[in-house]
Amino acid sequence: MKANSFYSIIIPVYNTPISYLDQCLLSLVDQTFHDIEIILVDDGSGYEISEACNRYAEKDSRVKVIHQKNQGVSAARNTGIKKASGEWIMFVDADDWLELDACEKLYERLKSKACDILMFNHVRDYDGKQVLMKYGLEPDKLYNMDIISDKELLYKRAMGAPDAAKGWSSIITYSWDKVFRAEFLKDSKVRFPIGLSKSEDKVFVLSCFEKIDTLYYMEKALYHYRMNTASVCNRYSEDADMIRKRLIDILDEIAKRMDLEIGTILNDPNYKGVSQELNRYIFGLISDVLLLKYYHKDNPNSVLKRHRDSIRFIRSEPFNSSIRGVQYKYLSNDAKIKKFLLSHGLVGTFCYIKQLIGRAKGQITEG
């Protein structure tokens, strides 16, 4: 049975500012490639946003709206996958947007390159300023999971953190910079993890990488990611440490499976390459927890209690092992400073410096 469209583009919507939603949806309905369906999953938004979604569906038959009770972004995307009828599935966040010829450019590659996932680049928009990301992947390359070097590189890169010292500034585990073959997603039954409020993309893409045969990478930037300092990613989170520990537990299981798989192929029972990358990723998560919980401006506790709690946090596992385990010679200059300060318990000094840099780049709120 032929799919109804070439692309199914899934957009979770939850009380997105109307101006952002308009920019997102106009970038989709005005695509130069028309054979698309746009699935808006209204995840319990208020009346104004729900009605805005309905109006787009009334104006354009390619737009379909699904209203559901608020269940989170993972559940919304999973609903979209279930309802998608296209040959290829894309994800777009409701406050971001695509280049108007994105679907056309991707169509040209998808028709000439057989793959399970096509990955492309993105730019980050900071109030009009655009920054092109670097993934550190080879442009116009088909990565084949039957080739151990390709498998190992994608596993390690997906598990790890960006590495400025090596010239790549972005992780490769976003869901919205990829096109997924719908047959693969539905046959593999890979879905976004329910109940994980942070980094659900990372878990989803890692799970995909375990099951795909091929990934093609094109370097052209087709997606605009809006850096929004008021977003939930920058709000005070009392449970930031527990949320990250739950994520790490999930990632640890995946890393062990990947290490076992690669180690078996290489006949190396002691292989730990992916787990080592996870340790580096955990080292990066420490900054998030410190800034979103202990040193956030909305933390109600005294300065003294914040400091004591933050020290207790960095001395807990697996964070303490991560600080001790990352080696200076593999770190960027900024990361070396971070390791030195945290190793000596100078958490307040580290957060002060990190906040200054973040505010200068428009990445974090004051706190």
Domains of the chain with CATH codes: 5-226 (3.90.550.10), 236-361 (no CATH)
pTM of the model: 0.92
pLDDT tens, the chain, 367 aa long: 345 899 999 999 999 999 999 999 999 999 999 999 999 999 999 999 999 999 999 999 999 999 999 999 999 999 999 999 999 999 999 999 999 999 999 999 999 989 999 999 999 998 778 999 999 999 999 999 999 999 999 999 999 988 876 778 889 999 999 999 999 999 999 999 998 988 999 999 999 999 999 999 999 999 999 987 555 567 778 889 999 999 999 999 999 999 999 999 999 999 999 999 999 999 999 999 999 999 888 899 999 999 999 999 999 999 999 999 888 887 878 888 999 999 999 999 999 888 777 665 554 332 2
Do residues 216 and 235 touch, judged by C-beta distance below 8 A?
Answer: no
Q: Which two tokens stand for residue 224?
A: 């605009």
Look at residue 328 in the predicted model and tell me its pLDDT.
84
CA nearest neighbour of 273 among 262, 288, 287, 265: 262
Instruction: Say which residue the tokens 């109804």 belong to.
Output: 4
Residue type, 113: K
CA nearest neighbour of 222 among 109, 57, 64: 109
